[in-house]
């Protein structure tokens, strides 16, 4: 029922600070289940995905105190091995509870996870990894059950790079007997950040952030405190937003080292950027089209492909956008065409963008989290009024986005159709 109403065409100005990393927060929250001791997480974004994960934790029996971007989790009284299916189906990250519960109590039954519809994301690699660690896996179309009296260390070769599977198996192996090696592991910055936290709690993980991670199992994981790294996807979204709107804005509280490929590709387009130790300033730029390919870290992140495509609608010439990771992640481009963009879909993985295009406001539905933010950016660029519906998807990953964009001078409101009528 709620939607964003954007009156675009305005130049933005000022500073916007980046929140803590959503994709680290979700994994550290799940990692709290490995221990019976208190876990404190700082710099936690106030977003819907975090709310949903807290609901699952409390459903399992943990207590959670939340205040001022801080979570205090006491998992001592976890007393369920089958989280409520309706809660699990609300988001993809719920799958992260399976491994820690298995490692801690020896059994878990979980519904298949939900989340964004951006392509096929089966949990086969999770289940294969749990089997390699010695778990019995019983699966049907609705749920799966894992059982193991004692997990055993193993060599796990990932058939392709998968972030959440890497993190899940790394966490699970912490309490396995012996040594586990994960080959072809994902290398996203959130992975060494998670490993650093677990090591501070007594785990023995080495190689996180490289393609080979080694985990020496321990008897016990203690509690601890974790301060989340900045969210590199939010940072990249805001930098692209500044460039797309031809604005000078300062994006603060970020780590440029986590955005090197993003920065390089933006500079190839002609973007005028000032890079500081923990900030990026965007300035009005004469943009040109380029070829972009998404890739696992340290390549260009798939989560920034949609905002970048919006940016290329404002660049001169032809751009080829090649989405190599998810086969359904370019379908939102039809919505940009409704706004006046000139985008041709070659196949489910490639589009050609011909720019610059004058975008006009339309009423659009957000298909998923990242494409939803891209539509917001398009609305800020477009002339006239844009209405973005299904905003729950956007608020899954971007905290308090309305007031933050208003702070930059954006004309954006959140309205409830029911209240208006």
Contact 83, 67 (CB under 8 A): no
Buried/exposed code over 106-127 (b: 16+ C-beta within 10 A; e: otherwise): ebbbbbbbbbbebbebebebbb
| Cα 280–Cα 286–Cα 291 angle in degrees, nearest 5 | 85
SS3 317: strand
Active site residue 346: no
Count CB atoms within 10 A of the CB of residue 158: 18
Q: 420 CB contacts (<8 Å, ≥6 apart)?
A: none
Tokens of 88: 């699990």
Sign of CA dihedral 38, 73, 403, 193: positive
Contact 31, 75 (CB under 8 A): no
Tokens of 330: 């370019």
CA distance 337 to 378: 11
Closest of 319, 410, 383, 308 to residue 356, by C-alpha = 319
Query: What φ, ψ does residue 76 adopt, rounded to 5°?
Result: -60, -35
Detail the DSSP E strand segments found in 148-247.
Answer: 155-157, 179-183, 204-206, 212-216, 224-227
Q: Which of 39, 116, 201, 226 is catalytic?
A: 116
Count CB atoms within 10 A of the CB of residue 392: 12
CA distance 201 to 213: 18
Q: Which sequence positions are flagged as catalytic?
A: 116
């Amino acid at each position: 029922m709620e939607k964003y109403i954007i009156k675009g065409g305005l130049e933005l100005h000022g500073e916007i600070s980046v929140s803590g990393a959503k994709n680290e927060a979700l994994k550290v929250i799940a990692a709290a289940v490995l221990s019976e001791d208190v876990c404190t997480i700082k710099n936690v974004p106030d977003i819907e995905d975090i709310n949903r994960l807290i609901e699952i934790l409390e459903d399992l029996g943990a207590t959670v105190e939340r205040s001022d971007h801080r979570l205090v989790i006491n998992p001592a009284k976890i007393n369920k091995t089958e989280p409520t299916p309706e809660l699990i189906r609300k988001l993809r990250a719920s799958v992260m509870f399976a491994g820690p519960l298995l490692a801690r109590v020896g059994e878990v039954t979980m519904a298949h996870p939900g989340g964004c519809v951006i392509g096929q994301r089966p949990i086969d690699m999770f289940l294969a990894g749990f089997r390699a660690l010695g778990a019995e896996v019983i699966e049907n179309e609705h749920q799966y059950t894992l059982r193991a009296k004692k997990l055993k260390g193993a060599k796990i070769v990932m058939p392709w790079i998968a972030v959440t599977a890497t993190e899940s198996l790394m966490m699970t192996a912490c309490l396995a007997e012996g040594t586990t090696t994960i080959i072809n592991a994902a290398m996203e910055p959130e992975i060494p950040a998670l490993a650093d936290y677990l090591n501070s709690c007594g785990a023995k993980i080495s190689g996180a952030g490289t393609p080979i991670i080694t985990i020496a199992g321990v008897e016990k994981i203690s509690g601890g405190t974790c301060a989340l790294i900045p969210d590199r996807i939010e940072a990249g979204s805001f930098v692209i937003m500044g460039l797309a709107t031809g604005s000078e804005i300062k994006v603060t509280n970020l780590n440029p080292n986590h955005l090197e490929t993003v920065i390089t590709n933006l500079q190839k387009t002609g973007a005028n950027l000032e890079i500081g130790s923990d900030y990026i300033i965007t300035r009005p730029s004469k943009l040109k089209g380029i070829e972009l390919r998404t890739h696992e870290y340290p390549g260009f992140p798939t989560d920034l492909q949609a905002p970048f495509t919006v940016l290329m609608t404002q660049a001169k010439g032809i751009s080829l956008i090649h989405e190599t990771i998810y086969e359904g992640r370019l379908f939102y481009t039809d919505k940009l065409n409704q706004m006046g963009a000139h985008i041709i879909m070659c196949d489910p993985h490639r589009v050609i963008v011909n720019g610059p295009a004058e975008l006009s406001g339309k009423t659009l539905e957000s298909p998923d989290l990242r494409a939803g933010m891209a539509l917001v950016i398009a609305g800020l660029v477009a002339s006239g009024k844009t209405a973005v519906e299904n905003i729950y998807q956007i608020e899954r990953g971007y905290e308090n986005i309305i007031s933050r964009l208003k702070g930059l001078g954006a004309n954006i409101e959140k309205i409830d159709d029911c209240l208006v009528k």
